[in-house]
A and B are shown apart, each in its own frame.
Chain A
Amino acid sequence: MLEVKNLKAYIDTPAGIVKAVDDVSFSLKAGETIGIVGESGSGKSVLALSLMQLNPSPPTFYPQGEILLEGKNLLHLKEKELRNLRGNDIAMIFQDPMSSLNPIFKIGTQLMEAIRTHQNINRAEAKKKAIVLLKDVGISDPERRMNDYPHQLSGGMRQRVMIAIALAGKPKILIADEPTTALDVTIQAQILDLMKDIQKKYGTAIIIITHDLGVVAQLADKIVVMYSGRIVEEGKTEDIFYHTAMPYTWSLLRSMPRIDTSSRERLIPIQGQPPNLVSPPEGCNFNPRCPFATADCLKIDPSLTERGVGHYAACILSEKIFEEGKLQLENFETKGVPL
Chain B
Amino acid sequence: MLQYTIRRLFSLIPVMCIVSIIVFMIIHLTPGNPAHLILGEDASEESIKQLEEQLGLDQPIVMQYVNWVKDIVTGDFGQSVYSSEPVLDIILGRLGPTFSITIVSIIMILVISIPIAIAAVWKRNTLIDPLFISISLLGVSIPEFWFAMLLVLGFAVSIPLFPVAGYIPMADGIFQWLYHLILPSFVLAAVEIGLVARMLRDGMLESVNQDYIRTARAKGVKESIVLMKHVFSNALIPTTTVIGAMVAGLLGGTVIIETMFTIPGMGQLLVDSIYRRDYPIIQGVILFIAVVYVIVNLLVDLLYTFLDPRIRYD
Contacts and interface: CB of A to CB of B under 8 A. Distances in A.
Contacts of B219: 86-87, 91, 113-114, 117, 165, 168
Interface residues of B, number: 23
Contact of A103 (B209, B218, B223, B234): B234
A79 interface: yes
A104 B308 contact: yes
A118 interface: yes
Contacts, number: 76
Given A85-B220, A94-B215, 4 more contacts: A54-B214, A102-B215, A104-B307, A104-B308
Interface string A88-99: 100110101001
Interface in B204-253: 209-223, 230, 233-234
A100 B211 contact: yes
B310 interface: yes
Nearest to B207: A102
A262 to B, nearest CB: 39
A96 B210 CA distance: 11
A145 B85 CA distance: 61
- Secondary structure type dominating chain B contacts: helix
Contacts of B215: 94, 100-102, 110, 162, 165
Contacts of B210: 99
B309 interface: yes
A103 B308 contact: yes
Contact of A94 (B125, B211, B234): B211
Contacts of B308: 103-104
Interface in A71-123: 79, 83-88, 91-92, 94, 96, 99-105, 110, 113-114, 117-118
Interface string B285-314: 000000000000000000000011110000
Contacts of B214: 54, 94, 100
A84 B220 contact: yes
Interface in A17-76: 52, 54, 56, 58
Most A CB atoms within 10 A — which of B209, B216, B220? Answer: B220
A101 B310 contact: no
Given A101-B212, A103-B212, A149 B309 contact: yes
Contacts of A101: 212, 215
A303 to B, nearest CB: 33
A166 B219 CA distance: 7
20 contacts: A83-B221, A86-B219, A87-B218, A87-B219, A87-B220, A91-B218, A94-B215, A99-B212, A100-B212, A101-B212, A102-B213, A102-B215, A103-B234, A103-B309, A104-B234, A104-B310, A117-B219, A117-B220, A165-B215, A169-B220
